[in-house]
Amino acid sequence: MSGNPPFHNLTYYTFGTPNGLKPAIVLEELGLQYKVEKVDITKNTQKEQWFLDINPNGRIPALKDGDLRVFETGAIMLYLTDRYDKEGKLNYPQGSREYYEVLSWLMWQMGGLGPMQGQANHFRAMAGAYSEYGIKRYMDETARLFDVLESRLSHADWLAGEKYTLADIASYSWVRAGPVFLDMDIKKWPGIEKWVKRIGERPAVQKAQTIPEGTRSAEELSQMAKGMRDRIDGMKETKRDS
């Protein structure tokens, strides 16, 4: 790598998943020009060498800006605001109290909500065997993490400070997937329900949900996920792991 960013030459490598959605929202909210490269994870494209050269972890998404590469959604989102959000539309000034609130919620999402809800998705909709233990462990943990969000959103409009930031975008992308993939009843968390509606009404968020081309709508995803859960339930009696 050489040269110093920003290059204003952005390519976003992604697929229509909660992690793919996070930086897509940031790119759209900031009104940036960028190319989209679809990395089809159903075909294992993310494990091909050309993509591993951009993201050694072999998972979507990743970003290139000129010859600079950034991987991990938290890093991509921070790169975009550090470099291209000089007016602070989606973040607070570095070093401020609110900046560390944004960082705290962002790290919480990266280390907690995303990985745990991802495991819930796996056991509830994708596993090769029915696992009552796995489903309970990760569904309970996902619900506990929703409670944590609710503890803030029951009395505040946004997660960090007084405005919509990266913190909201990161968790929104996963929370939105809860009812769709896991059939979670969002009404149990009234603060979250209002916050999801508030964010979902934003044009940039709606546009990001169509990236890359061919991404299924929430209704189509719900239908598909129901079929996946039914398949797991069908293994209940035959393939118990405990």
Is residue 37 a contact residue for ligand GSH (CB under 6 A)?
no
| β-sheet bridge partners, residue 36 | 12
Distance CA 85, CA 229 (A): 41
Is residue 171 a contact residue for ligand GSH (CB under 6 A)?
no
CA dihedral 147, 217, 181, 125 (to 10 degrees): -160
- Size of residue set near ligand GSH by CB under 6 A: 11
Contact stretch for ligand GSH (CB under 6 A) within 24-32, 53-61, 100-108, 174-182 = 53-61
Distance CA 202, CA 181 (A): 22
Q: Among residues 38, 59, 64, 152, which is the contact residue for ligand GSH, using CB under 6 A?
A: 59
Is residue 102 a contact residue for ligand GSH (CB under 6 A)?
no
CB of 72 to ligand GSH, least distance (A): 5
* Helix residue spans in 71-217 (DSSP H): 73-84, 97-108, 114-121, 132-153, 166-175, 177-182, 190-200, 203-208
Q: Among residues 24, 26, 54, 60, which is the contact residue for ligand GSH, using CB under 6 A?
A: 60
Q: Among residues 14, 17, 119, 209, which is the contact residue for ligand GSH, using CB under 6 A?
A: 17
> How large is the C-alpha radius of gyration of the chain?
18
What are the residues binding ligand GSH (CB under 6 A)?
17-19, 41, 46, 58-60, 72-73, 110
